[in-house]
Amino acid sequence: VDNQPMYTPAWNKALDTGKQIAWVSAVWAPGTLTTAAPGTKGKWAMAPLPQWTAGENTTGSWGGSSTAVTNDSRNKKAAATFAKWLNTDPTALAALVKESGVYPAAT
């Protein structure tokens, strides 16, 4: 167990050298590992979280993404149209999965 702040050079080094052997994280973690711990490529694997009650399949609340249009946007309508396209168009969703490592909300 380590209480080091995440995403610092020391934290990255701990990941990359094997000093830190596990990390409870979100779906985007593999993308972080490729830059923070390149020396460990192929050595990481996903695992289910321990459960308080067998069979419940409870998950953590860390993770998730959203697309928002701020009040100070100069073109709210165009931004909202883009956000809708980004999150609903099959080509855009495929690019998000491939390039960002996110999992689609629906299949």
Pair 91, 54 in one domain: no
Number of domains in the chain: 2
- Of residues 87 and 66, more confidence is placed in 87
Q: Is the pLDDT of residue 102 over 60?
A: yes
Distance CA 51, CA 1 (A): 19
Pair 53, 70 in one domain: no
- Of residues 94 and 75, more confidence is placed in 75
Other Cβ atoms less than 10 A from the Cβ of 51: the count is: 11
Mean pLDDT for the stretch of residues 19-36: 84
Pair 38, 59 in one domain: yes
* pLDDT classification of 29: cutoffs 50, 70, 90: confident
Pair 89, 99 in one domain: yes
Distance CA 107, CA 105 (A): 7
**How much of the chain exceeds pLDDT 90, in percent?**
39
What is the pLDDT, as a whole number, of residue 105? 59
* Structural domain boundaries enclosing 8: 1-63
- The DSSP code for 103 is P
Residues 6+ apart with CB under 8 A from 60: 24, 26, 49
